[in-house]
Homo-oligomer: A and B are copies of this chain.
Amino acid sequence: MTAASIRARVRAEMTEGIKAAARRQLAADGADLSLRAIARELGMVSSAIYRYFASRDELLTALIVDAYNALGTAAERAEAEVARDDLLGRWLATCHAVRDWALANPHEYALIYGSPVPGYRAPEDTIPPASRVPVLISGILRDGYAAGRLPAESGEPLPESLRPELTTVAEQIGAEVPPALMARGMTAWLQLFGAVSFELFGQLNNVIEDRAAFFAYQMRAVARVVGLPD
């Protein structure tokens, strides 16, 4: 019993050590992490890593899941600190938490929101961690709608063809949000990650210098589109 659990614990620690080294190398050198370099840093031989991860892709998947979870945790923490009835505050807290985490961990952000790595295909188990931020946003919408402070329909009318689909999305995410409101929520979602990605991937270079102010403005603007009350 103890013996088995000891071995299991050592194995878990080793796995975590490999991921930590990979993250370090990711933060330092950039995106294309090398198994051999990780092994070197850990003082072992490259083939030994294959005892813990079947392939480079599997390591990458583990890092991706971790990154989604780290981002999700950061966002949830920040959002939870705001008074429940301050809908705009909850949205802005989420936005800034996402941006702050992305700026602090640019390469991990690129891993999850950048272009997919060549041969790589995301497995199913990345879906729940990936949907933590969307779930958070949906929660704000749900609370606002339940309190009668967010209109179901507003702005651009949602085409009929999209209604069933967005109803399904709301159901999957477990939030009772009408489809047209859900669609505006996705507008906000796109705007949030579009803004962060553009800033991080250099598209704002030589264009906008005061990124923080620009980001805050954009997130307030989209909050207005969603209908979040001040």
Contacts and interface: CB of A to CB of B under 8 A. Distances in A.
A158 B169 CA distance: 33
B187 A198 contact: no
Given A187-B218, A207-B169, A31 B115 contact: yes
Contacts of A31: 115, 117-118
Interface string A157-174: 011011001000100000
Given A162-B210, A162-B217, A220-B156, A122 B194 contact: no
Interface in A119-158: 119, 122, 127, 130, 155-156, 158
A161 B210 contact: yes
A224 interface: yes
- In the complex, the count of this chain's copies comes to 2
B155 A32 contact: no
A197 interface: yes
Interface of A: 29-32, 110-111, 113-119, 122, 127, 130, 155-156, 158-159, 161-162, 165, 169, 183-184, 186-187, 190-191, 193-195, 197-198, 201-203, 205-210, 213-214, 216-218, 220-222, 224-225
16 contacts: A110-B116, A111-B115, A114-B114, A122-B202, A155-B221, A159-B216, A162-B210, A162-B213, A165-B208, A165-B209, A165-B214, A169-B208, A183-B217, A186-B208, A186-B218, A187-B218
